[in-house]
Amino acid sequence: MHELIVRGGTLVDGTGAEPRIADVAIDGGVITEVGGVTDSATRTIEADGLLVTPGWVDIHTHYDGQATWDSRLQPSAWHGVTSVVAGNCGVGFAPVVPAHHQRLIDLMEGIEDIPGTALHEGLPWTWESYDEYLDVLAGRQFDLDIGVQVPHAALRVHVMGERAVAGGAATDGEISRMAALAAAAVEAGALGFSTSRTLNHKSVDGELTPSYDAGVDELIRIAAAVGGTG
The 3-state DSSP class for residue 219 equals helix
Q: What does the pLDDT profile of the chain (230 residues) look like in tens digits?
A: 999 999 999 999 989 999 999 999 999 999 999 999 999 999 999 999 999 999 999 999 999 999 999 999 999 999 889 999 999 999 999 999 999 999 999 999 999 999 999 999 999 999 999 999 999 999 999 999 999 999 999 999 999 999 998 888 999 999 999 999 999 999 999 999 999 999 999 999 999 999 999 999 999 999 999 999 99
For 54-70, how does the pLDDT look when each residue is reduced to its tens digit (9 = 90+)? Answer: 999 999 999 999 999 99
Task: Report DSSP letters for 164-203, one per residue.
Answer: GGTTPPPPHHHHHHHHHHHHHHHHHT--EEE----TT-B-
Distance, CA of 31 to CA of 107 (rounded, Å): 43
For residue 90, what pLDDT is reported? Answer: 97
For residue 138, what pLDDT is reported? Answer: 97
pTM for this predicted structure? 0.87
CB 119 within 8 A of CB 67: no
Distance, CA of 212 to CA of 195 (rounded, Å): 9
For residue 191, what pLDDT is reported? Answer: 97
For residue 167, what pLDDT is reported? Answer: 85
For residue 5, the 8-state DSSP code is: E
Distance, CA of 52 to CA of 161 (rounded, Å): 49
For residue 189, what pLDDT is reported? Answer: 97
Q: What is the 3-state secondary structure (H, E, C) of 46-95?
A: ECCCCEECCCEEECCCCCCCHHHCCCCCCCHHHHCEEEEEECHHHCCCCC
Report CA-CA distances (Å) from 155 to 12, 29, 42, 62, 160. Answer: 41, 39, 51, 16, 8
Domains and CATH numbers, the chain: 2-52 (2.30.40.10), 56-227 (3.20.20.140)
Give the largest Cα separation in the chain, rounded.
Answer: 68
For 186-204, how does the pLDDT look when each residue is reduced to its tens digit (9 = 90+)? Answer: 999 999 999 999 999 999 9
Is the alpha carbon torsion for 60, 70, 76, 2 positive or negative?
Answer: positive
For residue 168, what pLDDT is reported? Answer: 85
For residue 206, the 8-state DSSP code is: S
